[in-house]
């Protein structure tokens, strides 16, 4: 089974729009939205939900006021500044609580509850391009790295059941916990960048991360005509770092128009831009060793 | 006044707005980059870095000779950072959240504090005032503790009376984003009028609402997509403070590492107007000047 | 010979090997001479998204097994198992528990000297 994860570091580089196009161009796959914090892929794929499951992760500490003897140990020991005093009693700020259980363990009056909490939901769905696994973390929740790992697990399970060979994932932004969770053990990372100082800077950091986890990575330079010199320099960077340059795409509003019409760009428009996206997908397949069977039949 | 510039979706122009605001701010201001996973503000403000320090987190170091294998530490740890395999105690430092519980619970004094590097904190000056940023070590998964330490550094740099702070926050709505905005006085949501932009702004609006702070919207790439954005802002009481037009010139200036407010008088006026509007926002009560770690 | 823990999908000798060590459904603890076995549920590790390998290693350790046969072992699980003196046979996939035991007895399983998978939630 091949697992391709599309990442960008910086947001807004066109990662999700391109993932949707790849989902349109490939076959025999399951699609996975690993950006559980701010998922957008469903806005294009319009999934039909067939299963919803609650996602529980971690615990939260809560003071049981009747038992509290106001000794102050919880406040003293909390490293996260989550315990403050409100009207003479300790109060645990649920947003700051890390769920470490230290206050619970050290409370001499057993006055702190430690309950498991629901952090979001995950969904199994069908889309016009194939099955999809996605999720929505509740507002301001953490543990998205855990949810990412769970989604990948579910995607693999479904792929095995349905005998699918490819997991295509829209990854989270950044380089932190959720990204590490989405990347480790994947077959190939596709890094979507843009020729801006931020795009370049973030590409370097995500590329470092791929190297750290020994994941082969390819790079797409989107909006490459915004700054040709920077785009060329990114091309050079790729060559130096052993990253495959999968292709360049121009700054084209067609990608936004497709999004507004809830279509993958390759589905919405058969013009030059879409042609280039299809060429890039062929490069990705070559890099990952995956070959869409249906695609080969179609092409004769 | 601490102004957090946030966005549900990445790439909506959050850093561009932060940099421009800093450049037109009329009173003393510190530019602070709390997008520690992908800090980018320095790429536009070009600070001269005057100092830096490593941010560490406390992790346990085990002294096997003193360990009595009671297992209390492994039982307490919620993050699987300590495991007792028979008579052998194992610590996995990258799993540790630095709660300190294991060291406190050990009856034998067999665990002592060591450190894991989270990243670095850098500070200096730009043409527009002081500058501060945190940068997460590549491979490090936990950004909130680094953000907390960066905020502590902020309180060392100034007493915050009479100095404003503009915070470039990480995108998204989860833990790191909330951490970045929770000590601010005003939260600005930068978005773009596309389906992705609208959906993510709704998520951010919902997430930050529980902090009970004044919030307002800035629409970037206005005129690009749908008009639903304006409808949402109106119906949910989110004031739109500025609309930045969809303009290839802006995209190119940004790609060249330039501050948008510096392109021409028109854009400068747009951002000075925005800055004035932000300053007139009544702050959440009782927050002003309270340093918060 | 010590008991062998084999990562498996179901509690039976003819269950398929679960190639994932940390996230295996369970372990069959098999006496290689008599083929008598018991089953250790690994649900507690499956439910974790980080630290699953460490948890699974603890589960195996408690079972008293001296050898593990599985597909992939991450670095933390590897460290845990090695520290406890448990030997690891890896790269086993697409076979039953019984076949894995036979392969091991025939001396055809490579005993690992390092983990064969990168860690972190995978």
How far apart, in whole angstroms, are the C-alpha atoms of residue A188 and residue B217? Answer: 37
| Range of the structural domain that residue A237 is part of | 2-46+128-299
**Arithmetic mean of pLDDT over chain B:** 91
Q: What average pLDDT does this structure show over B178-197?
A: 94
How far apart, in whole angstroms, are the C-alpha atoms of residue B53 and residue A85? Answer: 32
Specify the pairing of strand B2-6 against strand B186-191: parallel
Residue C13 lies in a domain: yes
Residues A291 and A217 in one domain: yes
| Partners of residue A106 in chain B, C-beta under 8 Å | 101, 104-105
**What count of other Cβ atoms lies within 10 Å of the Cβ of residue B210?**
13
Domain count along chain A? 2
Helix (H) or strand (E) holding B234: helix B228-235
Answer whether A176 sits within 8 Å of B99, measured CB to CB.
Answer: no
Q: What average pLDDT does this structure show over B180-203?
A: 93
Nearest to B200 among A38, A95, A209 (CB): A38
Q: How confident is the model at residue A293 (pLDDT cuts 50, 70, 90)?
A: low
Residue B286 lies in a domain: no
Residues B69 and B214 in one domain: no
Query: And the tokens for A223?
Result: 């909006």
pLDDT at residue B285 greater than cutoff 60: no
| Partners of residue A80 in chain B, C-beta under 8 Å | 99
Cβ-contact A59, B78 below 8 angstroms: yes
Cβ-contact A99, A112 below 8 angstroms: no
Residue C77 lies in a domain: yes
Which residues have C-beta within 8 Å of that of residue C113, sequence separation ≥ 6?
Answer: none
Nearest to C49 among A150, A213, A214 (CB): A150
Angle at B76 between CA C26 and CA C66, to 5 degrees: 35
Residue A52 lies in a domain: no
Residues A66 and A163 in one domain: no
Residue C110 lies in a domain: no
Helix (H) or strand (E) holding B233: helix B228-235
Answer whether C84 sits within 8 Å of B80, measured CB to CB.
Answer: no
Question: Chain B: residue nearest A229 by CA?
Answer: B256
Residues B162 and B234 in one domain: yes
Taking alpha carbons only, the member of B218, B216, B205, B206 closest to residue B282 is B216
User: What CATH number does residue B63 fall under?
Assistant: 3.30.70.20
Q: How confident is the model at residue B166 (pLDDT cuts 50, 70, 90)?
A: very high
Taking only the tens place, the pLDDT of each residue in A215-260 is 899 999 999 999 999 999 999 999 999 999 999 999 999 999 999 9
How far apart, in whole angstroms, are the C-alpha atoms of residue C100 and residue C109? Answer: 8
Which residues, numbered 1 to 40 in chain A, qualify as contacts with chain B under a Cβ-Cβ cut-off of 8 Å? 8-13, 16, 37-38, 40
Query: And the tokens for B62?
Result: 């085990």
How far apart, in whole angstroms, are the C-alpha atoms of residue A15 and residue A190? Answer: 9
**Arithmetic mean of pLDDT over chain A:** 91
Residues A168 and A209 in one domain: yes
Q: Is A168's Cβ below 8 Å from some Cβ in C?
A: no
Give percent of chain B above pLDDT 90. Answer: 75
Residue A7 lies in a domain: yes
How far apart, in whole angstroms, are the C-alpha atoms of residue A146 and residue B156? Answer: 35
Q: DSSP letter at B237?
A: T
Query: For residue A4, what are the β-bridge partners?
Result: A168, A188
pLDDT at residue B205 greater than cutoff 90: yes
Q: How confident is the model at residue B131 (pLDDT cuts 50, 70, 90)?
A: very high
Residues B226 and B133 in one domain: yes
Which residues, numbered 61 to 80 in chain A, qualify as contacts with chain B under a Cβ-Cβ cut-off of 8 Å? 77, 79-80
Answer whether C48 sits within 8 Å of B79, measured CB to CB.
Answer: no
* Predicted local confidence at residue B288, as pLDDT: 40
pLDDT at residue C119 greater than cutoff 70: no
Taking only the tens place, the pLDDT of each residue in C38-90 is 999 998 777 676 788 999 999 999 999 999 999 888 889 999 999 999 999 98
| Residue where the block lists tokens 């997908």 | A281
Residues A108 and A211 in one domain: no
In the listed set A97, A118, A139, which residue is the last one of a domain according to the structure? A118
Residue B39 lies in a domain: yes
* Predicted local confidence at residue A300, as pLDDT: 33
In the listed set A99, A118, A137, which residue is the last one of a domain according to the structure? A118
Taking alpha carbons only, the member of B154, B135, B146, B137 closest to residue B32 is B154
Query: And the tokens for A24?
Result: 């349109």
Q: What average pLDDT does this structure show over A95-104?
A: 92
In the listed set A82, A99, A118, which residue is the last one of a domain according to the structure? A118
Q: Is A105's Cβ below 8 Å from some Cβ in B?
A: yes
- In terms of Cβ atoms closer than 10 Å to its own Cβ (0-12, 13-18, 19+), residue B143 is buried
Which residues have C-beta within 8 Å of that of residue A284, sequence separation ≥ 6?
Answer: A4, A22, A188, A190, A218, A246
Query: And the tokens for A278?
Result: 């299809």
In the listed set B96, B117, B138, which residue is the last one of a domain according to the structure? B117
Domain count along chain B? 2
Residue B160 lies in a domain: yes
Residue C73 lies in a domain: yes
Taking alpha carbons only, the member of A299, A148, A256, A271 closest to residue B11 is A256
* Predicted local confidence at residue A299, as pLDDT: 40
Q: DSSP letter at A217?
A: E
Strand locations in A27-128, DSSP E?
29-33, 48-63, 83-86, 89-92, 112-127
User: What CATH number does residue A62 fall under?
Assistant: 3.30.70.20
Q: What average pLDDT does this structure show over B261-267?
A: 90
Task: Specify the range with the lowest mean pLDDT, choosing from B164-168, B224-228, C4-8, C45-49.
Answer: C45-49
| Range of the structural domain that residue B104 is part of | 56-117
Task: Specify the range with the lowest mean pLDDT, choosing from A27-31, A202-206, B260-264, B285-289.
Answer: B285-289
Q: How confident is the model at residue A295 (pLDDT cuts 50, 70, 90)?
A: very low
Residue B17 lies in a domain: yes
Answer whether A43 sits within 8 Å of B11, measured CB to CB.
Answer: no
**What count of other Cβ atoms lies within 10 Å of the Cβ of residue B238?**
18
* Predicted local confidence at residue B96, as pLDDT: 95
Taking alpha carbons only, the member of B61, B57, B56, B65 closest to residue B73 is B61
Answer whether C84 sits within 8 Å of B83, measured CB to CB.
Answer: no
How far apart, in whole angstroms, are the C-alpha atoms of residue B209 and residue A140? Answer: 10
Answer whether A201 sits within 8 Å of B224, measured CB to CB.
Answer: no
Residue C115 lies in a domain: no
Q: What average pLDDT does this structure show over B114-139?
A: 96
* Predicted local confidence at residue B275, as pLDDT: 96
Q: What average pLDDT does this structure show over A78-92?
A: 91
Cβ-contact B142, B58 below 8 angstroms: no
pLDDT at residue C1 greater than cutoff 90: no
Answer whether A184 sits within 8 Å of C119, measured CB to CB.
Answer: yes
Residues A106 and A136 in one domain: no
* Predicted local confidence at residue A183, as pLDDT: 86
* Predicted local confidence at residue A61, as pLDDT: 95
Domain count along chain C? 1
Helix (H, G, I), strand (E, B) or coil at B164: strand
Angle at B136 between CA B130 and CA B140, to 5 degrees: 165
Helix (H, G, I), strand (E, B) or coil at C40: strand
Q: How far is CA A50 from CA A26, A168, A170, in A?
A: 22, 19, 20
Question: Chain A: residue nearest C73 by CA?
Answer: A185
How far apart, in whole angstroms, are the C-alpha atoms of residue B81 and residue B92? Answer: 5
| Partners of residue B248 in chain A, C-beta under 8 Å | 251
Q: DSSP letter at C17?
A: B
pLDDT at residue A296 greater than cutoff 50: no
Residue B156 lies in a domain: yes
Taking alpha carbons only, the member of B117, B115, B157 closest to residue B133 is B157
Which residues have C-beta within 8 Å of that of residue B137, sequence separation ≥ 6?
Answer: B117, B118, B119, B120
How far apart, in whole angstroms, are the C-alpha atoms of residue A187 and residue B41? Answer: 33
Taking only the tens place, the pLDDT of each residue in B50-70 is 999 999 999 999 999 999 999
DSSP H helices in chain A: 15-25, 41-45, 73-77, 102-106, 144-162, 177-183, 197-212, 228-241, 254-260, 265-268, 272-288, 293-299
Residue C10 lies in a domain: yes
Helix-helix angle A15-25:A272-288, to 10 degrees: 80
Q: How far is CA A286 from CA A220, A276, B178, in A?
A: 14, 15, 40
- In terms of Cβ atoms closer than 10 Å to its own Cβ (0-12, 13-18, 19+), residue A72 is exposed
* Predicted local confidence at residue C85, as pLDDT: 92
Nearest to A145 among C49, C117, C118 (CB): C49
| Range of the structural domain that residue C93 is part of | 4-105
pLDDT at residue B293 greater than cutoff 90: no
Helix (H) or strand (E) holding C43: helix C43-46
* Predicted local confidence at residue B77, as pLDDT: 95
Residue B288 lies in a domain: no
CA distance B105 to chain C (A): 21
Answer whether B251 sits within 8 Å of A223, measured CB to CB.
Answer: yes
Q: How confident is the model at residue A86 (pLDDT cuts 50, 70, 90)?
A: confident
Of residues B158 and C78, more confidence is placed in: C78
Residue A114 lies in a domain: yes
The 10 Å CB-count burial string (b at 16+, else e) for A123-154 is bbbebebbbbbbbbbbbbbbbbbbbbbbbbbb
Taking only the tens place, the pLDDT of each residue in B210-246 is 899 999 999 999 987 777 899 999 999 999 999 999 8
Residue B51 lies in a domain: no
How far apart, in whole angstroms, are the C-alpha atoms of residue B22 and residue B17? Answer: 9
Residues A238 and A263 in one domain: yes
How far apart, in whole angstroms, are the C-alpha atoms of residue B148 and residue B151? Answer: 5
* Predicted local confidence at residue A25, as pLDDT: 96
Taking only the tens place, the pLDDT of each residue in A141-192 is 776 777 898 899 899 999 999 999 999 999 998 887 788 889 877 899 999 9
Answer whether B195 sits within 8 Å of A174, measured CB to CB.
Answer: no
User: What CATH number does residue C57 fall under?
Assistant: 3.30.420.130
| Residue where the block lists tokens 């050290």 | A106
Residues A245 and A209 in one domain: yes
Residues A163 and A278 in one domain: yes
User: What CATH number does residue B213 fall under?
Assistant: 3.40.50.300
Question: Chain B: residue nearest A207 by CA?
Answer: B138
Tell me the pTM: 0.84
Residues A21 and A151 in one domain: yes
Residues A107 and A228 in one domain: no
Q: What average pLDDT does this structure show over C95-110?
A: 93
* Predicted local confidence at residue C49, as pLDDT: 60
Question: Chain B: residue nearest A213 by CA?
Answer: B139
Which residues have C-beta within 8 Å of that of residue B79, sequence separation ≥ 6?
Answer: A100, B95, B96, B97, C50, C51
Give percent of chain A above pLDDT 90. Answer: 73
Q: What is the DSSP string of A134-151?
A: EEEEPTT---HHHHHHHH
How far apart, in whole angstroms, are the C-alpha atoms of residue B156 and residue B120? Answer: 16
Query: For residue A121, what are the β-bridge partners?
Result: A54, A136
Answer whether B141 sits within 8 Å of A196, measured CB to CB.
Answer: no
């Amino acid at each position: 089974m091949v697992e391709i994860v599309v990442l960008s570091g910086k947001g807004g580089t066109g990662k999700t729009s391109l993932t949707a196009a790849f989902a349109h161009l490939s076959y025999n796959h399951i699609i996975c939205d690993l950006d559980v914090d701010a998922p957008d892929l469903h806005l294009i794929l319009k999934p039909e939900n067939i299963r919803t499951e609650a996602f529980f992760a971690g615990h939260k500490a809560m003071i049981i006021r009747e038992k509290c003897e106001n000794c102050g140990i919880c406040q003293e020991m909390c490293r996260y500044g989550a315990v403050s005093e409100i009207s003479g009693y300790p109060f645990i700020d649920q947003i700051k609580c890390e769920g470490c259980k230290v206050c619970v363990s050290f409370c001499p009056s057993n006055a702190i509850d430690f309950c498991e909490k629901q952090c979001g939901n995950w969904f199994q769905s069908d889309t016009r391009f194939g099955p999809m696994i996605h999720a929505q973390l509740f507002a301001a929740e953490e543990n998205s790295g855990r949810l990412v790992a769970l989604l990948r697990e579910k995607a693999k399970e479904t792929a095995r059941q349905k005998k699918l060979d490819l997991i295509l994932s829209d990854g989270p932004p950044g380089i932190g916990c959720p990204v590490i969770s989405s990347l480790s053990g994947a077959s190939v990372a596709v890094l979507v960048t843009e020729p801006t100082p931020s795009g370049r800077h973030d590409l370097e950091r995500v590329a470092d991360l791929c190297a750290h986890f020994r994941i082969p990575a390819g790079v797409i330079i989107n909006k490459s005509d915004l700054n040709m010199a920077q785009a060329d320099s990114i091309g050079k960077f790729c060559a130096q770092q052993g990253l495959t340059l999968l292709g360049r795409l121009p700054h084209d509003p067609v990608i936004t128009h497709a999004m507004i019409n809830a279509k993958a760009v390759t589905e919405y428009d058969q013009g030059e831009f879409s042609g280039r996206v299809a060429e890039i997908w062929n490069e990705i397949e070559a890099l990952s060793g995956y070959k869409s069977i249906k695609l080969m039949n179609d092409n004769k | 006044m601490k102004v957090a510039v946030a966005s549900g979706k990445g790439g909506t122009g959050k850093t561009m707005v932060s940099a421009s605001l800093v450049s037109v701010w009329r009173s003393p201001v510190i530019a602070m980059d709390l997008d520690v996973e992908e800090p980018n503000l320095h790429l536009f403000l070009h600070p001269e870095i005057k100092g830096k320090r490593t941010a560490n987190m406390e992790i346990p170091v085990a002294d096997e000779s003193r360990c009595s294998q009671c297992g209390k530490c492994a039982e307490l740890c919620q993050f699987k950072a300590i495991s007792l395999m028979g008579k052998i105690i194992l610590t996995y430092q990258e799993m540790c959240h630095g709660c300190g519980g294991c060291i406190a619970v050990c009856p034998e004094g067999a665990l002592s504090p060591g450190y894991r590097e989270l990243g670095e904190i850098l500070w200096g000056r730009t043409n527009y005032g002081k500058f501060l940023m945190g940068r997460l070590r590549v491979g490090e998964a936990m950004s909130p503790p680094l953000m907390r330490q960066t905020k502590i550094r902020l309180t060392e740099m100034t007493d915050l009376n009479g100095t404003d702070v503009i915070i470039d926050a990480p995108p998204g709505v989860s833990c790191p984003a909330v951490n970045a905005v929770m000590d601010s006085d005003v939260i600005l949501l930068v978005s773009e009028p596309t389906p992705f932009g609208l959906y993510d702004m709704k998520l951010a609006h919902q997430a930050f609402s529980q902090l009970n702070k004044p919030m307002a919207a800035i629409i970037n790439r206005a005129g690009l997509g749908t008009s639903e954005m304006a409808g949402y802002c109106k119906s949910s009481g989110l004031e739109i403070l500025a609309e930045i037009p969809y303009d290839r010139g802006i995209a190119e200036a940004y790609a060249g590492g330039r501050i948008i407010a510096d392109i021409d008088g028109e854009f400068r006026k747009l951002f000075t107007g925005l800055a004035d509007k932000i300053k007139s926002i009544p702050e959440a009560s009782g927050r002003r000047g309270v340093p918060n770690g | 010979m010590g008991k062998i823990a084999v990562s498996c999908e179901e509690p039976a000798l003819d269950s398929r090997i679960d190639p994932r060590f940390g996230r295996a459904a369970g372990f069959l603890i098999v006496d290689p001479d008599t083929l008598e076995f018991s089953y250790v549920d690994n649900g507690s590790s499956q439910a974790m998204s980080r630290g699953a390998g460490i948890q699974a290693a603890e589960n195996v350790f408690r079972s008293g097994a001296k050898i593990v046969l599985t597909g992939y072992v991450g670095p933390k699980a590897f460290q845990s198992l090695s520290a406890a003196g448990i030997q690891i046979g890896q790269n086993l996939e697409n076979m039953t528990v019984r076949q894995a035991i036979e392969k091991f007895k025939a001396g055809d399983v490579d005993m690992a000297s390092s983990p064969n998978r990168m860690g972190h939630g995978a």
